[in-house]
Amino acid sequence: MADTKNYGPKRLVVGAHYGVIDFIAQRITAVIMAVYTLVLIVGFLVMPSFSYENWKALFTFHAGPIPAGQMLASLFFFALAWHAWIGVRDIWMDYVKPTGVRLLLQVLTILWLVASVVYFAKILWSI
Protein backbone atom coordinates (compact mmCIF):
# COMPACT_ATOMS: atom_id res chain seq x y z
CA MET A 1 0.00 0.00 0.00
CA ALA A 2 1.37 3.42 -0.99
CA ASP A 3 2.15 6.02 1.63
CA THR A 4 -0.49 8.72 1.04
CA LYS A 5 0.67 11.33 3.50
CA ASN A 6 -1.56 14.38 3.10
CA TYR A 7 0.20 16.70 5.53
CA GLY A 8 3.58 18.36 5.86
CA PRO A 9 5.71 19.80 3.03
CA LYS A 10 4.71 17.10 0.50
CA ARG A 11 0.97 17.44 0.94
CA LEU A 12 -1.32 17.74 -2.08
CA VAL A 13 -2.52 21.32 -2.30
CA VAL A 14 -5.48 22.01 -4.55
CA GLY A 15 -8.06 24.73 -4.98
CA ALA A 16 -7.97 28.41 -5.75
CA HIS A 17 -6.98 29.49 -2.22
CA TYR A 18 -9.88 31.91 -1.87
CA GLY A 19 -9.67 31.49 1.87
CA VAL A 20 -6.42 33.45 2.14
CA ILE A 21 -7.80 36.43 0.26
CA ASP A 22 -10.98 36.39 2.34
CA PHE A 23 -8.96 36.08 5.55
CA ILE A 24 -6.87 39.11 4.63
CA ALA A 25 -9.93 41.08 3.46
CA GLN A 26 -11.72 40.38 6.76
CA ARG A 27 -8.72 41.60 8.74
CA ILE A 28 -8.32 44.76 6.64
CA THR A 29 -12.01 45.64 6.86
CA ALA A 30 -11.95 44.98 10.61
CA VAL A 31 -9.02 47.39 11.03
CA ILE A 32 -10.80 50.05 8.95
CA MET A 33 -13.93 49.68 11.09
CA ALA A 34 -11.96 49.75 14.35
CA VAL A 35 -10.05 52.91 13.38
CA TYR A 36 -13.23 54.68 12.29
CA THR A 37 -14.94 53.66 15.52
CA LEU A 38 -12.09 55.20 17.49
CA VAL A 39 -12.39 58.38 15.41
CA LEU A 40 -16.12 58.55 16.23
CA ILE A 41 -15.49 57.94 19.93
CA VAL A 42 -12.94 60.76 20.01
CA GLY A 43 -15.44 62.94 18.14
CA PHE A 44 -18.11 62.21 20.73
CA LEU A 45 -15.71 62.95 23.60
CA VAL A 46 -14.62 66.32 22.24
CA MET A 47 -18.14 67.32 21.17
CA PRO A 48 -19.15 70.39 23.21
CA SER A 49 -22.80 69.39 23.40
CA PHE A 50 -24.96 66.67 21.93
CA SER A 51 -26.99 68.53 19.32
CA TYR A 52 -28.04 67.90 15.75
CA GLU A 53 -25.50 70.38 14.41
CA ASN A 54 -22.62 68.71 16.28
CA TRP A 55 -23.81 65.23 15.28
CA LYS A 56 -24.00 66.35 11.65
CA ALA A 57 -20.51 67.86 11.90
CA LEU A 58 -19.09 64.43 12.79
CA PHE A 59 -20.07 63.20 9.33
CA THR A 60 -19.64 66.35 7.21
CA PHE A 61 -16.32 67.87 8.28
CA HIS A 62 -13.93 68.91 5.54
CA ALA A 63 -10.15 68.70 5.24
CA GLY A 64 -9.64 71.62 2.90
CA PRO A 65 -11.90 71.07 -0.11
CA ILE A 66 -12.22 67.32 0.57
CA PRO A 67 -15.39 66.11 2.38
CA ALA A 68 -13.34 63.94 4.76
CA GLY A 69 -16.19 63.08 7.12
CA GLN A 70 -18.39 61.72 4.37
CA MET A 71 -15.51 59.87 2.72
CA LEU A 72 -14.45 58.22 5.99
CA ALA A 73 -18.04 57.24 6.80
CA SER A 74 -18.45 55.81 3.29
CA LEU A 75 -15.19 53.86 3.61
CA PHE A 76 -16.43 52.47 6.92
CA PHE A 77 -19.77 51.42 5.48
CA PHE A 78 -18.23 49.79 2.39
CA ALA A 79 -15.82 47.92 4.68
CA LEU A 80 -18.76 46.86 6.85
CA ALA A 81 -20.69 45.56 3.85
CA TRP A 82 -17.69 43.64 2.49
CA HIS A 83 -16.92 42.23 5.94
CA ALA A 84 -20.54 41.14 6.33
CA TRP A 85 -20.61 39.58 2.86
CA ILE A 86 -17.55 37.43 3.55
CA GLY A 87 -18.90 36.27 6.91
CA VAL A 88 -22.47 35.56 5.82
CA ARG A 89 -21.36 33.91 2.58
CA ASP A 90 -19.13 31.56 4.55
CA ILE A 91 -22.04 30.72 6.85
CA TRP A 92 -24.24 29.90 3.85
CA MET A 93 -21.49 27.82 2.25
CA ASP A 94 -20.72 25.88 5.43
CA TYR A 95 -24.18 25.19 6.78
CA VAL A 96 -26.66 25.24 3.88
CA LYS A 97 -26.18 22.09 1.83
CA PRO A 98 -28.88 22.28 -0.91
CA THR A 99 -27.25 24.24 -3.73
CA GLY A 100 -30.42 26.04 -4.82
CA VAL A 101 -31.25 27.24 -1.32
CA ARG A 102 -27.65 28.34 -0.76
CA LEU A 103 -27.64 30.28 -4.05
CA LEU A 104 -30.95 31.93 -3.19
CA LEU A 105 -29.65 32.98 0.23
CA GLN A 106 -26.44 34.34 -1.29
CA VAL A 107 -28.35 36.35 -3.90
CA LEU A 108 -30.70 37.73 -1.23
CA THR A 109 -27.71 38.65 0.92
CA ILE A 110 -26.06 40.48 -1.98
CA LEU A 111 -29.27 42.35 -2.79
CA TRP A 112 -29.73 43.35 0.84
CA LEU A 113 -26.12 44.55 1.19
CA VAL A 114 -26.20 46.51 -2.08
CA ALA A 115 -29.51 48.12 -1.11
CA SER A 116 -28.09 49.02 2.30
CA VAL A 117 -25.00 50.64 0.75
CA VAL A 118 -27.12 52.61 -1.74
CA TYR A 119 -29.50 53.75 1.02
CA PHE A 120 -26.57 54.74 3.24
CA ALA A 121 -24.91 56.72 0.43
CA LYS A 122 -28.18 58.47 -0.41
CA ILE A 123 -28.63 59.57 3.18
CA LEU A 124 -25.01 60.52 3.91
CA TRP A 125 -24.30 62.41 0.71
CA SER A 126 -27.58 64.36 0.87
CA ILE A 127 -26.63 66.05 4.15
Count of CB atoms within 10 A of residue 73's CB?
A: 22
Please indicate if the annotation marks 95 as binding a ligand: yes
Residue type, 34: A
SS3 19: helix
Q: Which helix (H) or strand (E) holds 117?
A: helix 99-124
Distances (CA, A) of 110 to 26, 69, 85, 87, 106: 17, 26, 7, 12, 6
83 is in an annotated binding site: yes
Known binding-site positions for heme: 83
Known binding-site positions: 83, 95
Known binding-site positions for a ubiquinone: 95
